[in-house]
Amino acid sequence: MGSHGPRVTAEPPEPRAVREVLAEVGEDPGDVELAPIEGGASRQTFVVAAAGEPRFVLRREPHEGMSFAPLELELRAIAAADLAGVAVVRTVAAEPAGGRFGPGAGYLMEFVAGTSLAPRVLRREELSVARERLPGQLASALAQIHSVDSAAVDGLAGGERDPALEGCELWERELTEIGEPLPAVEAGLRWLRLNPPPPPPAIRLVHGDFRLGNFIVDGHGLAAVIDWELCHLGDPAEDIGWLTIRSWRFGNDDWPVAGLAEMEPFLDAYEAAGGVRPDAERLRWWEAMGNVKWAVICARQAHDHLTDARPSTELASLGRRICEPEWDLLELLAEA
């Protein structure tokens, strides 16, 4: 697929600019230092420390990058989820593109202690109690997200037509723009188009990337749901299907819900928290769509590296993972 260039680490904004923005909202921690948080493949993230202690986190849109939801929309979705009772990270201040945070728009949020690294969540001994609590907490958080009125977040994409059809068209467009033949994904999209579930009972706010890696977890369990840049209006079952694809089990393949739990107890907890329980066929469809989505995202990220849009060994490495969701997708189609 071409040669891999050196990883390019984004330069953080000037510390004095960050301190200036914080002072304007009554948060002046004194001198601050910024360091990149590795692992994100889309928005740039930096920890803001004062006196050696992390105090805030800065998320910024890369000037040359692309996200599905504008940063301003992400903030509105987080605020609506907060009102619905979802554990989120409080936003402190925001700057538009070209502002004091640099070419891309960005925002500061509070620092929440814990880890978002999935292998640690699944295997660290000190998080054993958290692992017991997480399935129920995640089910409740999803039910709260899906309780948000579809009109509560102005500007959300989706919801105008059947979410299944919208999903097929979105990922078909993305695959066409990349221009790389992925026969297994194309076969999956054809099956998805031929076997759509009935329209959902209601169109709701969908997180779009609800999975291990996008939760901050501490010793008590779920501390915050983060990374809302794929939020949109759609079928709530999409979030459950995405949470259960094998890529997000990180080796715990026997536990379909994020490598943590069986499906039925999770759905029991989701329903008890107010969610509308999807049937098995609807979940199978969205799990298949989740594998299509992940394969195309991997291809998109690798394409950005190979075309020098965003040279990065991290993005390049995602190209090697395309085969994983392709394999899982073909297994799902065989079962169906």
**Tally of domains in the chain:** 2
- Residue, of 93 and 319, whose pLDDT is higher: 93
Q: Which of 110, 135, 150 is the last residue of a domain?
A: 110
Three-state DSSP at 303 gives helix
The count of other CB atoms within 10 Å of the CB of residue 166 is: 18
Residue 76 counted as domain residue = yes
Does 48 share its domain with 126?
no
pLDDT digits (tens, 9 = 90+) for 161-193: 999 999 999 999 999 999 989 999 999 999 999
Does 98 share its domain with 243?
no
Does 154 share its domain with 207?
yes
pLDDT digits (tens, 9 = 90+) for 95-114: 998 899 988 889 999 999 99
Three-state DSSP at 277 gives coil
Does 161 share its domain with 269?
yes
pTM listed for this prediction: 0.91
Sign of CA dihedral 1, 170, 214, 275: negative
All residues at 6 or more sequence positions from 185 whose CB lies less than 8 Å from its CB, including other chains: 175, 292, 295, 296, 326, 329
Q: Which domain holds residue 54?
A: 15-110
Task: Assign 67 a pLDDT band (cuts: 50, 70, 90).
Answer: low
Q: Which of 59, 91, 110 is the last residue of a domain?
A: 110
pLDDT digits (tens, 9 = 90+) for 68-89: 678 889 999 999 999 999 999 9
Does 192 share its domain with 89?
no
Q: Which of 110, 137, 156 is the last residue of a domain?
A: 110
Residue 66 to residue 70: CA distance in whole angstroms: 9
DSSP string over 159-209: -SS-HHHHHHHHHHHHHHHHT---HHHHHHHHHHHHSPPPPPSS-EEE-S-
Residue 24 counted as domain residue = yes
Does 34 share its domain with 153?
no
Residue 67 to residue 50: CA distance in whole angstroms: 30
Here the CATH number for the domain that contains residue 280 is: 3.90.1200.10
Does 96 share its domain with 212?
no
All residues at 6 or more sequence positions from 9 whose CB lies less than 8 Å from its CB, including other chains: 36
